[in-house]
Amino acid sequence: MNERPKFRFVSADRRVREDRRFVAGMGKYVGDIAEAGMLHVAIVHAPYTAAKIVSFDASRALAMPGVVAVVEGEELSTNVEPLMNGLDTPKVQRYPLAVKHVRYNGEWVAAVVAQTRAQAEDAAECVDVEYEPLPFVIDAEEAYRPSSPPVHAAHGSNVLLDRTFNWGEIDEDFAASDHQLSLRVTWGRSSTVPLETFGVVAMWDPWAEVMDVRASIQMPKYADQIARAMRLPGNAVRVHYDIDVGGSYGVKRGIKHTVLACYLSMKLKQPVRLIEDRLENMSSGDAHGPDRIFDIDAAFNRDGIVRSMKMRALDNAGAYAGRAPFQLGKPIGAIVGPYKINSVRYHAVSVTSNKAVQEAVRGFGQSPTNYAIETMMDRVAEHLGMDRVEIRRRNFIRADEFPYLIPSGTRYDSGDYHTVVDKVMKHVDWPAFVAERDRLRANGAYAGIGIAACLEPSGGNSSFEPLLNPANTTTTWMESCRINVDALGNITATIHTTSSGQGHETLASTVIGEVLEFDPDSIRIVRTDSLTSLPGNSPVGSRMAVMLGGSCYLAANKLKKKLKAIAAHQFDCAPEDVDYVQGVLRAKDGRTLKWAEMVNIAHRNFHLLPEDCEPGLEVTNVYQVPTGTDLPTADGRVQMYPCHSFEFHCILVTIDPDTGKVDIPRYVIGHDCGTVINPHIVKGMTLGGIAHGLGAALMEEFVYDGEGQMMAQSFMDYLLPSSHEVPQVEIVHHCTPSPFTVMGQKGSGESGYLGAPAAISGAVNDAVRSLGIRFNRLPMRMTAISDAIAEAKSKQSN
């Protein structure tokens, strides 16, 4: 099983075909679209954290040059349906614009439409809204209390989700363990903050009765959601997938922006463009990430074996529900990480508050959960005086134990964690690595080593939907591919999604080229629109290598099968007696039919086709997620994602004692995502994920003050890692193919990000341990670190 399969194009050092247009500035982003008569939108934002809208007067704005319309929430809400909630919380209603009440600072209150964006912005400042401030709640613990002011009075409380799962004999395992410890860690609210903000151009065609939507979108069921909200038939919404998306990493799901733009376009019968400015993106683009407090009790033996874990995760979802609470559900599929923890109690709580709304962020809750689990492992090691690598080794699932069923119902596909760790230990020369930290310490530096081992569940299905919402019976999360060979014999394949840098055209052409034994560069990849597309679920959940790759593979094999059937008919033999080699069909007796001959027969010679064979050479495949077909059991167990990539981080940090600045002189990651389809893409994902994880660990946070004002609204105060902060990363590769996928591939779209925050936290804590400091909260910003060091030193000197 651990033999690396031999491929011709897959895993080869091949260029990423999308790159050519990007280096020339020829990407086609939503901001590049200029339709004739296109109108522009500016937003009026709420200046209060919670308030009643007492009066609304747009007359001054409407009198300004170029202004075409001003629309507020009451009008909008009578004409569109509420946006979709993930959980069964019908009283938590969300519209693109606030209706009667505003629930967070910056919430969209009105849309001003004008001939130019500048005119719209000018006029937005002249919309007069009178508010009556209301009580609000910012803190999650406070929001959880029944006494807190409910963000949605009709819902009755702030609790969106409050569910406890018991998987295994938790109390027995706790009673039988030698030791127990408790810890609390907090994951501060950050996000992926792509360089391109969200944008959409909506264009209602009243003659064709079709809504054309072009957007910087990365979202499952986007067209369906637009149609539902707009009360249109599904076939009256056409989302164009040939738009390049300038980064997303989960969050580009601007459904409120889209429904608003669609409504305005339908009302005004003109194309409408709505593009967030950076302030909007950060304050009210509804794209913040998890904001989570973890309380953990661990039960373990003196030999370091962790037997049981109780975890409470309390997440602050913000003012509306959306899909965000599901981010407490996905980690259930890897709730024990790479470890053999025998039983788990998981208490998942999601509350509303008067903060901005969350959206899916890279890993969908897995990175915060990994940070909590890995901090627990570090604490257990510390408690027992045991080496942090050794304790992980002792708890790892062994390579010969896969497929391995974890307590919450997921069967991990494959892995060889011990070998990856051994390879990394060898790569860094572990004794020398430790000696280097100690040398730095001896020279007076605060130096620390960080270790993190974690999984990247991939091939995303959506099993957390039925798990957390019994009204939802989703058991498929399919992806599709269509291949057509034209009458000249050239191959074109379609994919049915936008991409935001993942290289799906390269992925599809590589896999199809591999199967059909054609140079992938000769295969054209076309992006359809939602009316011409096959079923799909967009590139979320680290799923496209598994799902699009799987669909392309199966479609190409279907085409091969058809070719063999046609050839067998000519050879008068059984299809299984026909060989396919680089487009040539060969009978056992040596007769051959060349590609051009096969194409000619299929396209022009119906009389030569076998019975029931359709003319032409076109195949489609709609691929079901491998493993994910069952509804959850009554005790809350379900197979979550099919594949599990592994990463092991081993890093060295130093801290400037005066400024608190963390440097990372050495960053090594062992990475195993099974069969790699394109090594450049996987490498980029991993390096980028680490950079993003570094941001979440040390720099990035949407900070709110006690009054609910968001304090980080620009890149001057929400800091993104630059080339100075991101270390040079060494990747140690390993390949354990997945037995569940067509070529052994697993996902890598979230790699690096899933373990970097845990590793950096572990390293910083190791560096300041001698001062008696413990950081239990991310991000650990420079100011927090320098303050803690100064305080500890002053205590020591007293």
394 near other proteins, judged by CB under 8 A:
no
Beta strands in 361-514 (DSSP E): 404-405, 411-412, 446-458, 479-485, 491-495
> 440, 620 in Cβ contact below 8 A?
no
Name the residue nearer to other proteins (CB basis): 21 or 588.
21
What pairing do the DSSP bridges indicate for beta strands 159-167 and 67-72?
unpaired
Is the distance from CB of 632 to CB of 466 less than 8 angstroms?
yes
Site for other proteins in 254-293 (CB under 8 A): 277-278
Binding test (CB under 8 A) with other proteins, winner from 616, 665, 684, 739: 684
Smallest distance from other proteins to CB 120, Å: 14
Torsional sign, CA 66, 70, 76, 79: negative
Q: Which is nearer to other proteins, 47 or 247 (CB)?
A: 247
Q: Which is nearer to other proteins, 157 or 497 (CB)?
A: 497
Q: Which stretch binds other proteins (CB under 8 A): 138-146, 205-213, 571-579, 682-690?
A: 682-690
Q: Which residues contact 137 (CB under 8 A, 6 or more apart)?
A: 143, 148, 149, 151, 158, 353, 354
Count of alpha carbons within 13 Å of 59, Cβ hemisphere only?
2
Residue 254 C-beta: closest distance to other proteins, Å: 16
Instruction: Give min distance, CB of 331 to other proteins, in A.
Output: 23
Q: Do the bridges between strand 524-527 and strand 491-495 make them parallel or antiparallel, or are there none, so unpaired?
A: parallel
Q: How many Å is the Cα radius of gyration of the chain?
A: 27
Span of 140-148, 470-478, 629-637, 684-692 interacting with other proteins by CB under 8 A: 684-692
Q: Does 195 bind other proteins (CB under 8 A)?
A: yes
Q: How far, in Å, CA of 676 to CA of 416, rounded?
A: 16
Residue 142 engages other proteins in binding (rule: CB under 8 A)? no
Query: Which of 522, 714, 770, 796 contacts other proteins by CB under 8 A?
Result: 714
Cα–Cα distance between 675 and 545 in angstroms, integer? 10
Binding other proteins (rule: CB under 8 A), the pick from 316, 342, 497, 500 is 500
CA–CA distance, 621 with 535 (Å, rounded to integer): 10
Residue in 254, 331, 448, 503 binding other proteins, rule: CB under 8 A: 503
Contact flag: residue 688 with other proteins (CB under 8 A): yes
Closer residue to other proteins in complex, CB, 10/384: 10
Task: Give the binding range for other proteins (CB under 8 A) out of 150-158, 241-249, 402-410, 544-552.
Answer: 241-249
Give the residue among 451, 317, 385, 406 at the shortest CA–CA distance from 636.
406
Q: Which CB sits closer to other proteins, 273 or 482? A: 273
> Counting contacts by CB under 8 A, is residue 687 touching other proteins?
yes
The alpha-helical segments, DSSP class H, found in 130-234 are 140-144, 170-176, 222-230
Least distance from other proteins to the Cβ atom of residue 14, Å? 10
Residue 349: what residue type?
V
Written as one string, the DSSP assignment of 666-728 is EEEEEEE-BS-S-HHHHHHHHHHHHHHHHIIIII----B-TTS-BS--STTTSPPP-TTTSPP
| Candidate segments 41-49, 433-441, 656-664, 725-733, binder of other proteins by CB under 8 A | 725-733
CB atoms < 10 A from the CB of 730, how many? 14
Does position 24 interact with other proteins (CB under 8 A)? The reply is: yes
* 479-485 sheet: strands from edge to edge: 524-527, 491-495, 479-485, 617-623
Residue 542 within binding range of other proteins, rule CB under 8 A: no
For the bound state, the minimum distance from the C-beta of residue 267 to other proteins, rounded and expressed in Å, comes to 24
Parallel, antiparallel, or unpaired: how do β-strands 128-133 and 51-57 relate? antiparallel
Q: 25: which strand partners?
A: none
Q: How far is the CB of 28 from other proteins (least distance, A)?
A: 9
711 makes contact with other proteins (CB under 8 A): no
For the CB of residue 681, give the shortest distance to other proteins in the complex, in Å: 7
Residue 32 in contact with other proteins, rule: CB under 8 A = yes
Rule CB under 8 A: is residue 665 a binding residue for other proteins?
no
Which member of 752, 755, 757, 762 binds other proteins (CB under 8 A)? 752
Report d(CA 623, CA 747) in Å as an integer.
16
Residue 700: CB minimum distance to other proteins, A: 11
Compare residues 278 and 394 and give the one whose CB is closer to other proteins. 278
Q: Which stretch binds other proteins (CB under 8 A): 299-307, 313-321, 339-347, 688-696?
A: 688-696
Reference 242, options 220, 216, 219; nearest CA is: 216
Phi, psi of 460 (to 5 degrees): -30, 125
For other proteins, which is the closer residue by CB, 15 or 594? Answer: 15
User: Does 125 help bind other proteins (rule: CB under 8 A)?
Assistant: no
Determine which residue in the list 681, 698, 758, 768 makes contact with other proteins, applying CB under 8 A. Answer: 681
Stretch that binds other proteins, among 106-114, 141-149, 173-181, 677-685 (CB under 8 A): 677-685
Longest dimension (CA), the chain: 98
Contacting range for other proteins; rule: CB under 8 A; set: 165-173, 539-547, 592-600, 679-687 = 679-687
**Running DSSP on this structure, what letter comes out for residue 29?**
B
Residues forming contacts to other proteins in the complex (CB under 8 A) are: 15-16, 18-27, 29, 31-32, 34, 118, 192-196, 244-249, 277-278, 500-503, 680-681, 683-685, 687-692, 714-716, 720-724, 726, 728-729, 752
